[in-house]
Structure 1
């Protein structure tokens, strides 16, 4: 009887040891699970923070660069620049092609492409005979100069208490983003100062009647703002050549419309 009791006690002791070991294993496992969960949580938090920080940097870079690149506003269809240098299209959707080469010279107290100098001289002289005085207030602008002007425009709107995003959007309506301004071609000129009331002057009236005879067109007409995406600029004229200028005038087309028209006709003729 004594032996049986002794054996029973030993069995209970052994079971107790096993239970203790199992309890310790369970506790150890729980500790490891909690630890790993914390590590995973910390890793996910760090990844999220890094992603958020990266997004903030990108956003700020975009704002500093004028909101977004030209491709972000971009055209959904494949675009082909015309084969005529006079029709090169530079706007919000299309930056200056790398293959385009301007021939910049300093003339009329500004920098312009040498290929438009004679045409402008002839237009200015003809205007003078009609008692109309024309002068170029701005011609060719480098990428760096355009970036400076765009940044200044953003700051001017931003100081009025609107958000930076709104300031960028409003600035883009009056000053082209760097790389998207026609002035980088050397083919665009601002005449007689950047004056909002220039459209009410006799100089503007004369230009509307005669500019096409010398290869120049009003680049941003009032009735084409939805197409050009630039507000009406009565002072901004672009050289496209006499042939194209007269067609654009007759068809009442802005450059975006005419380039599309020109490309379709070129494709149909081949």
Structure 2
């Protein structure tokens, strides 16, 4: 009888230890699952993401839409965040991209004279900062800080692996507030249609934010004049209204080339 009780006691202890191990393993797995997204990014850019609501929150979203008031009227951009399908509607033309085909349809006899390949995704890219810098194929490096009007902004140099996007030689400089982590400046090069990297950086200031669905996104952005790869004085401002950021995917028919449109080769 004593032997039976001893065996039963040992078995009970072993089961308890096994269950405790399972609980600890489960807890570790849950923690790792929560941290897996942000842990793949360097500390500096993670700090910026977190100051804007977090990359995990951004990755939940599927629809991004915003409107800009331009001299010729309103321009409405709708993007499927996951596959980057896009629809840009203006008073004189509509441009779309279904993930494969880029198309344009002209309105009321107006001739489209823009560069659709260059403009596709351009304003969405600027608007979706800093989260757009969480895409795959990006290389992050520390860079010299920016000093503007006596304030120092730490910097991150963004470049791309070969073959990423239409302009893999593009580079970006992200400067952020050291205390809050919020993005304050973006320097960018333009290499579309050119070979190799550019040494000339243009500058945008981000200092007017709004919170939409848990994400801190631009209410407006300021383009700056520049000299010696440094911003000098404000040139113009673009405001964004009617912002939509949703976990619901946009209707795919929005991006399909309609009758009367032509494909951009």
Fold in common (TM above 0.5): no
Q: Which has the higher strand share?
A: 2
TM-score after normalising by structure 2: 0.36
The structure that has the greater radius of gyration is 1
Q: Which has the higher helix share?
A: 1
TM-score after normalising by structure 1: 0.35
